[in-house]
Amino acid sequence: MKFKYWIKAARLRTLPLAFSCILLSASLVLINQGNLSFKILLLTLTTTLLLQILSNFANDYGDAIKNADKNRIGEQRMVQSGKISKYQMKIAIVIFSILSLIIGFYLVFNVFQDEIFKILIFISLGVSAIVAAIKYTVGKSAYGYKAFGDLSVFIFFGIVGVIGSYYLFTKNFHWLTIPGALFTGFMSCGVLNLNNMRDYENDKKNNKLTLVVKMGIDKSKIYHFTLLVFSIISFISIVIYTNVYEYIFSIAPLFFIIRHMYFLNKHHSNNTLDSQLKTVALSCFCCSVLSLIIGLVIS
């Protein structure tokens, strides 16, 4: 089995968006405390990496089982195309589930040590994240086929990703993580919505009930613009709160989001939607990275 097929199945282009919530959370720690444990940051990013690859493998497998990728637009899926067998992908899903648990356990025990109650809470969140990654498309009750994908993405790429990781870094909550969670959560929902708009016809044909299939393209575009506008407002509110002029530079990538909104309003072909996925995902990632870099420089 060629290694390149596994790289394609891992969908590395989705990783910057997965890392965004962790990096933004780390930048908020620097804003509020001025110091950050890089060991905990590395472990959190590693856990996120494993969970995202697990999610992509499970999605590839689940859609192939349901034959939902047969006429899809965009990158070819490895199980559907026969490049990776269903059995091999099932083994990979099991392996990455175990790896996610091991690294996640190590992370939680490093942070909380003998605080059993907190350990149990975060282990429960970790197990929930693994189950959510798999159940998105796998099984008869796959929630990605019942228009709950956006809610799951918002919870794990927003609330858990920012607020949860902030607590891992500091053992405290801070109100600034709320606009942080809204920013990465809404941006991530925007990427999913674009993906589902692109796949609208194919999903409808294969009875995959995404939010886009439920609402239709026109309402989905309104929903998309709403998500992005609130994302921009949320991020700017963080920058304003810092009251440090250097953080103004972190809003620069938002220009590409505004340009994307203008472009999408004029064009809406499937090829156009596919090309815009990278714009939204990388804009979110760049805002988070710039925030972290600026926080490191001034802290």
pLDDT for 291: 95
> How many CB atoms within 10 Å of residue 94?
13
Task: Give the mean pLDDT of 249-267.
Answer: 91
pLDDT for 272: 75
Whether the per-residue pLDDT at 270 is higher than 70: the answer is no
Domain boundaries, the chain: 18-298
Among 75-79, 118-122, 220-224, where is mean pLDDT lowest?
A: 75-79
Q: What pLDDT digit, counting tens, does each position of 132-180 carry? A: 999 998 888 889 888 899 999 999 999 999 999 999 999 999 999 999 9
Confidence of residue 271 (pLDDT cuts 50, 70, 90): low
Task: Give the mean pLDDT of 269-274.
Answer: 72
Whether the per-residue pLDDT at 203 is higher than 80: the answer is yes
Name the strand (E) or helix (H) holding 38. helix 38-65
Name the 3-class secondary structure at 209: strand
pLDDT for 265: 84
pLDDT for 72: 56
